[in-house]
Amino acid sequence: MLSIKNLEAGYGKVKVLHGINIDVPKGQVITLIGSNGAGKTTTMRAITGMIKPTAGEVTLGGEKIDGYDSHKIARLGLAHSPEGRRVFTTMSVTDNLLLGAFPRFTGSRPKGDIKHDLEKSLEMFPRLKERRNQLAGTLSGGEQQMLAMARAVMLNPEIILLDEPSMGLAPILVEEVFKIISNLKSQGVTMLLVEQFAAAALNVADYGYVLENGKIATHGPAAKLKDDPAVKAAYLGGAGGH
Partner 1 sequence: MDMFAQILSSGIAVGMIYAVIAFGFQLTFATSGTLNFGQGEALMLGALVGLTCVDTFGMNYWVMIPVVCIFGMIQGSFVELIGVRPAIKIKSEFGWIMSTIALGIIFKNVAENIWGRDALPFPSPLPMEPMNFLGANILPMEILVVVGALVMMLLVEFFNRKTIYGKAVVATANDRDAAGLMGINTSMVITFSYALSSLTAAFAGVLIAPLTLTGATMGGALGLKAFAVAIIGGLSSGMGIIVGGLILGIVETATGFYISTGYKDVPGLILLLLVLAYKPSGLFGKSAIKKV
Partner 2 sequence: MMKLKSLLPLLIAIVGLFCLPLFVHNPYYIHLAETILIYTILLFGLDIVVGYVGQVSLGHAALFGIGSYTAGVLYFHFGWTIWGTIPASIVVTAIFGGILALPALKVIGPYLAMVTLAFGTIAQILINEMTWMTEGPLGIKIPKPDLMGIPMTKAEYFWMVSAILIISLIVVDRFVKSQMGRAFEALRDSPIACDCMGVSVYRFKVIAFVISAGFAGLAGCLYSYSEQYISPNTYNNELAVLFLLGIIMGGRKSRLGAAIGAAIIVLLPKLLDDINLFRIVASIIAIVVVVGAGLALSKQVTTARRVAVPIAGVVGLAIFSFWLNSISDWRLSIFGFMILLVVYYLQNGIVGFAKTFYQSIVGKAKTTRGEAAEQVDDSISFISKVANLNTGAELLKVDSLLMQFGGLKALNNVDLSVKRGTIHGLIGPNGSGKSTMMNVLTGIYVPTAGNVLYAGESVVGKTSSDIALSGIARTFQNVQLFGEMTAIQNILVGLHHTFKSNMVEIALHLPRYKKEEAEAHARALALLKFVGLDDLANEEARNLPYGKQRLLEIARALALDPELLLLDEPAAGLTAPDIKELLSIIRKIRDNGITFILIEHHMDVVMSVCDTVSVLDFGQKIAEGKPAEVQANEKVIHAYLGT
What mask, x for binding partner 1 by CB under 8 A, covers residues 10 to 49? --------------------------------------xx
242 binds, among partner 1, partner 2, none (CB under 5 to 8 A by kind): partner 2
Residues 158 and 78: beta-carbon distance below 8 Å: yes
**Strand 55-60 to strand 159-163: parallel, antiparallel, or no bridges (unpaired)?**
unpaired
Q: Which of residues 163-182 bind partner 2 (CB under 8 A)?
A: 164, 166-168, 170-171, 174
Instruction: Report the alpha-carbon distance of residue 8 to residue 64 in Å, rounded.
Output: 15
Nearest CA-CA partner of 158 in 121, 190, 120:
190
Q: Which of residues 81-140 bind partner 2 (CB under 8 A)?
A: none
**Is there binding between residue 37 and partner 2 (CB under 8 A)?**
yes
- Contact with partner 1 (CB under 8 A): which of 26, 52, 64, 86? 86
3-state secondary structure of 31: strand
CB crowding 190-203: b at 16 or more within 10 Å, else e: bbbbbbbbbebbbe
- Closer residue to partner 2, CB minimum distance, 156 or 203: 203
- Closer residue to partner 2, CB minimum distance, 68 or 197: 197
**Is there binding between residue 211 and partner 1 (CB under 8 A)?**
no
CA angle 14, 19, 20 (to 5 degrees): 115
**Is there binding between residue 52 and partner 1 (CB under 8 A)?**
no
16 binds, among partner 1, partner 2, none (CB under 5 to 8 A by kind): partner 2
**Is there binding between residue 89 and partner 1 (CB under 8 A)?**
yes
Piece of 7-15, 80-88, 185-193, 206-214 that binds partner 1 (CB under 8 A): 80-88
Give how far the C-alpha of residue 72 lies from the chain's centroid of Cα atoms, to the nearest Å.
17
Piece of 90-98, 106-114, 185-193, 229-237 that binds partner 2 (CB under 8 A): 229-237
- Closer residue to partner 2, CB minimum distance, 16 or 155: 16
Task: Give the CB-side neighbour count of residue 96, counting CA atoms within 13 A.
Answer: 33
- Closer residue to partner 1, CB minimum distance, 11 or 182: 11
Helical segments of the chain, H only: 40-48, 70-75, 93-100, 102-106, 114-124, 126-130, 141-153, 171-186, 198-204, 222-226, 229-236
188 binds, among partner 2, partner 1, none (CB under 5 to 8 A by kind): none
DSSP state of 108: S
3-state secondary structure of 217: strand
What mask, x for binding partner 2 by CB under 8 A, covers residues 179 to 218? -----------------xxxxxx-----------------
